Structure 1
Amino acid sequence: MSTNEVERALALPEDERGAALARIPEDQWLERKSVRVAPKDFAHPLVALANAEGGVVVVGLHGGGVEGIKAHAARVNALLQTPMDFTRPPVRTHFEQVTCRNDDGDVDALLIARVSPGDVLHETAQGECFLRVGDESRKLGFVARQELHYDRGSAPYDGQPIAGVTVQDLDAQALEEYRRAAGATDTHARLLQARSLLTSSCKVTVAGYLLFARHPQERLPHAHVRVLRYRDVDRGTGRRLSLDDAADVRIEGSIPRVIELAAATIDEWVPRRRALDDAGRFEGVPIVPRDAWLEGLVNAVIHRSYSVHGDHVRVEIFPDRVEIESPGRFPGLADPRRPMEIARFARNPRIARACADLRIGQELGEGIKRMFDEMRLDGLTDPAYTQTQGSVRLILRSESRIAPAVARSLPQGSLSLLDLMRSARQPLGTGQLVELSGLSRPTVKRQLDALRGQGIIVWEGKSDKDPRATWRLA
């Protein structure tokens, strides 16, 4: 993970520094460029990183070797001016030169460009927009660019300052643990500045406060996780409420602490079933794979909308499923009906990068894919997302997955329709399914007939034209 490895490499002696930086794989936060790169092309990774979570561009490395920058003073000067000349608005970039040994064994230098997350959408002087996705600076088309513009319409909330809070008010032990995890050697303040966790006037940001304050709920009381366990598959209401009286807890503290304590609580409360393990013994295993619900929990805490006051992350545990709901809708770049196609987007870029430093979330855009993989490996149905006016809910069910061969034989979209029926937890008419899915009636009818033909759902009615006929799970 380059976000830590870059700092460790920069702390090495100059004889080792260049070669170590050349070996680190490029990823979400690291790009390497030859000193011969044209300034207009150098603008591409700067814009891409600024539109994501920020990162580092190392100039003077090419083809796995260390070419250095010492013999190219004019080119270096042109690159230093790139943010002003070739990005709109100018990308905030801090440059520094570090000494190294080039491939010929001579003392040389590298140019380190540290890019801060942008407060607005950035583009090149040519009007092109890029977004960092994994190890690629991906050029966005018109629609994706417009959606990113709307989502970035104002400065990310996690970059706003917390009035009256300084570095001295944060938890020194937590900061020291972060410095060790990040492989940094500078002061706590310099590290926080490098990660954009301090403003230009050295005020602690919302992200820094949530990550390293002893009790951030003093200023942000909504920044907690509530874990609940129910005795029945339905929540119920009033006298029929199925919430376990002894299983409703509010978990507070810094983000790393909240995730740790919430995970321990879920581990304890999630229902278990007996299953044969790899050693041939029957053991109690959770009804939903731990890696799946943990990924969902981490995503909810890191990517929730902290600007939404009065709401919090909820983890609800039922006998047959785990539901995780977080404040804030999906960004416009994402379609919850096609979760595997969701493009990478960090609502809280500073929190996301710091958590990656702490190895809480890898933040490689693979979290959703990993949840799908874990559920499928256990033979369970795919994770399902639903979106309300102000939140996103992830549902992880313990129901058996449809055989791949059967799934391939179904019309496109049939499994999504099946997820809607599962979420409803009651029989639905064809018209209701048309309304819920947003699809045409012929399309929904074709999917329903295919699911019925496979014995997955059942039609119940008195005649083919019965207006009260419904569909239910088999």
Structure 2
Amino acid sequence: MLSAPVSERGQLIAQAVEDQWYEKKGARVSAQTLGQALVAFANAEGGLVVVGVQGGVVQGMTRQGIRQINSLRQASIDHAVPPVRYSCSDVGCINADGHEDFLLVFRVDPGERVHEMRNGDTYLRVGDESRKLNYSQRQELEFDKGQAQYDGMAVNNGYGVADLDDRLLENYRENTGAESAEGILRARSLLTKDGSLTNAGYLLFAGHPQQEFPEAYIRVLRYMSTDRGTGADLNLYDDGDVKIEGPIPYAIQSAAEVIERFAPKRRSLNATGLFTGADIVPRDAWLEGLVNAVIHRSYSLAGDHIRVEIFPDRIEIESPGRFPGLVDPSKPLEISRFARNPRIARVCADLRIGQELGEGIKRIFEEMRKVGLTDPVYKQGTGSVRLRLEAVHRLRAEVAARLPKGSQGVLDLLRGASTPMGTGEVADALNMSRPTATNRLQALRDEGLVRWIGKSPKDPRAAWALADL
């Protein structure tokens, strides 16, 4: 829209929908309010703030006077701590009165540390909102901003634009409507100030980024039974181990094609009266899980890669890197938005690979629930996160009605556990009291859904596991 003819530019900007990376402000916005938006974008993935548009009307900035314009240009210095890194330019337009005018366009870079207002308030861009963070959310963000974002560092060996794949760059330029490939790379912070390529730029657009990032690949594994097996008893299909390399957009597309081919299916009568293969794990659920794994994995961790394991009854996706900050993986729907790789996330959204509205996990839950399957289970290890999508139906309505509230969560926890769990472990994992956990476990046992393993009622090693149905 910024590269459109001047006669059309204002209306295109006014009509554009605000999102994770775009916000419009009226011409008379205060410097402090603008500062809040700049802080929010810097604490997230960066973005664009256009001043001079309000309610779909192109106001322009000509009438505002030099004092108002200067105060807006200085908003970061006057109101943000530390000052937000951004560039500001005048962009010509035609205002609502039909006269030549201009808008102020602020391009905000992702911050390498937490930014706040001078009064201590901290904001984070989430979807189309700049949300004020509470103390714990601020603390979590500080943990995540504790080190410079790896995807924004210059890649080793001094690679530049000339080292990228021309076809990939041209496709990206066309998708964004940019005038030049180098221009959009700079706009998305994929080049450093001296023109060097960032890690994100190389991973996204190099013909073979594994030259510098050997572990940046996706491995898809297909098993014959519900257990992996080991050694001579390994249950892997002969052709069921596929390694996918290449730039991120290509790798996601290629991995999705392999998973589609391997994913467990059942024969089902479709709307046209024909029997076809229907996914037992919803395609949209595992695809969202795959995209999230690639976009948010830790590319700074050497020695590990993304694994997609396909079993007859489930799909598991494991990605290097832990959840951000103080996140509790037993409560995935409460995870606040934060992108480990903001530049990669932005480009993938431009290419419509991931919408990146902070709803990826919610969408996975919705897709599983839509077809009546049990909730996804996230498990965090010392250096990775595993997502388990299981083709197990949720509790029937009449059974759920008999059970205490929250029993489904206990059942899902035990499904995702690799070994039986004690009552105390269940209580801690779900942040509930021990008596509450005991009540739910005993109710599930009465329904024949879980079993108790122990030698006596006071056995300290007693544990709970799924019933052998």
Give the structure-2-normalised TM-score.
0.94
Alignment of 1:164-313 (within 5 A): 164-185=158-179, 187-313=180-306
1:14 aligns with 2:6: yes
| Contact map agreement 1:35 1:76 (CA 8 A) in 2 | no
Asked whether the equivalents of residues 30 and 56 of structure 1 are also in contact (C-alpha less than 8 Å), the reply is yes
**Structure 1 contact 460–470 (Cα < 8 Å) conserved:** yes
Paired residue total: 465
Cα 1:166–1:244 change in 2 (3 A) is same
Match of 1:24 in 2: 16
Please say which of residues 235-244 and 418-427 is displaced more in the overlay.
418-427
| Maintained 8 Å contact 1:179/1:188 | yes
- What secondary structure, in the 3-state scheme, does the structure 2 residue paired with 1:265 have? helix
1:264-301 deviations in Å (ceiling 9; x for gaps): 11111112111232334332112211111010000000
Q: What secondary structure, in the 3-state scheme, does the structure 2 residue paired with 1:283 have?
A: strand
Give the C-alpha shift of residue 472 in structure 1. Answer: 2.9
Matched, 1:472 2:460: no
Q: Of the candidates 34, 37, 47, which is equivalent to residue 29 of structure 2?
A: 37
Question: Aligned match of 1:80 in 52, 58, 73?
Answer: 73
Contact 2:93 2:100 in 1 (8 A): yes
> 1:464 Cα shift?
5.5
Letter in 1 for 2:87: H
2:43 alignment partner in structure 1:
51
Residues in 2 aligned to 1:243 and 1:24: alpha-carbon distance in whole angstroms: 49
The alignment yields a C-alpha RMSD, in angstroms, of 2.0
How far 1:466 sits from its partner (Å)? Answer: 6.9
Change (3 A) 1:401 1:101: same
Percent identity between matched residues is 56
Counterpart of 1:98 in structure 2 is 91
1:462–1:469 CA contact under 8 A, matched in 2: no
**Counterpart residue number, 1:6:** none
SS at structure 1 position matched to 2:125: strand
Distance 2:85 2:271 in 1: 52
**Residues in 2 aligned to 1:76 and 1:51: alpha-carbon distance in whole angstroms:** 24
Deviations 1:206-241 (A, max 9, x none): 000000001000011011111111111111222222
Residues in 2 aligned to 1:90 and 1:141: alpha-carbon distance in whole angstroms: 21
| Partner deviation per Cα, 1:305-355 (whole Å, 9 max, x = no partner) | 111111110000111100000001001253211111211110000000011
Normalising by structure 1, what TM-score?
A: 0.93
Q: Which residue of 2 aligns with 1:3?
A: none
Q: How many Å separate the matches in 2 of 1:470 and 1:207?
A: 45
Structure 1 Cα separation of the partners of residues 105 and 262 of structure 2: 48
User: Which whole-Å CA distance do the structure 2 matches of 1:432 and 1:130 have between them?
Assistant: 35
- For residues 380 and 318 of structure 1, the distance between their equivalents in structure 2, rounded to whole angstroms, comes to 16
Residue of structure 1 in register with 2:151 after alignment = 158
> How far 1:102 moved relative to its partner?
1.2
Change (3 A) 1:85 1:428: closer
Match of 1:340 in 2: 333
8 A Cα contact 2:330 2:430, kept in partner = no
Alpha-carbon separation, structure 1, partners of 2:34 and 2:342: 22
Does the 8 Å CA contact 1:230/1:318 hold for their aligned counterparts?
yes
Distance 1:43 1:410, change over 3 A: farther
Flag structure 2 segments of 5+ consecutive residues without an equivalent: none
* Structure 1 pair 154–279 and aligned structure 2 pair: CA distance change class (3 A): same
Displacement of 1:406 = 4.4
Q: Structure 1: 5+ residue runs without aligned partners?
A: 1-8
Structure 1 residue matching 2:63: 3-state secondary structure: coil
- Distance in 1 between residues matched to 2:419 and 2:143, nearest whole Å: 37
Q: Does 232-241 or 311-320 show the bigger shift?
A: 232-241
Identify which of 120, 125, 138 aligns with 2:113: 120
